[in-house]
Structure 1
Amino acid sequence: MSKDSFSWYSLKLHHFEAIMTVKELIKKLQDLPQDSKIVVQGYEGGLSDIGQIKPSRLELGVNSESWNGPHEESLNGGVPCVLLLRAENPNSD
């Protein structure tokens, strides 16, 4: 994808063995327009700004409920990860 012809695409990962690394994310972002905004999914809908980039640790594949993501932040152990946390909505009451 050229930086001049921007089109939307999505990456769907179905197995936790395929979790994207920082290196892979940087490579993908380099192909996009550098002035594009970065957002994450909102709490129940919409899109939110990134409020925090947090180094952490991750326990893989510990959740089976459909309403939860498959992984959990680890308090002891796990593998290194980076969390992109959403910012609070400045328009909310």
Structure 2
Amino acid sequence: MMTMQITGDNGFDAAVVAKPRHLLAFERATGTKFSDFEDGVSMAMIYQLAHLVMKMLHPGETPVKLSEFEESFDVLPLAEDESPDPTPAGA
């Protein structure tokens, strides 16, 4: 599994977990094995995964096109023991 903090210009802000079914869909869609992430992963791959997961979990808040997602969302992969700061921004 992989946890990502995803923040959108549309107000979306949550930690999103890519579960095994999402990773399988990513592998099938891109031809990239999730095990390749251990050798280093590009931000392009992170955004592809985040976009796919968001379309599956939050379809109403996610642009259909990856390019639109990249322009309006920030994605930050979180370490397994790292959790998002519950303090609101600007507090």
Same fold (TM over 0.5): no
Looking at secondary structure, tell me which structure has more strand per residue: 1
Higher relative contact order by CA 8 Å / sep ≥ 6: 1 or 2?
Answer: 2
The bucket for the TM-score relative to the shorter chain is under 0.3
Looking at secondary structure, tell me which structure has more helix per residue: 2
Which has the larger Rg?
1
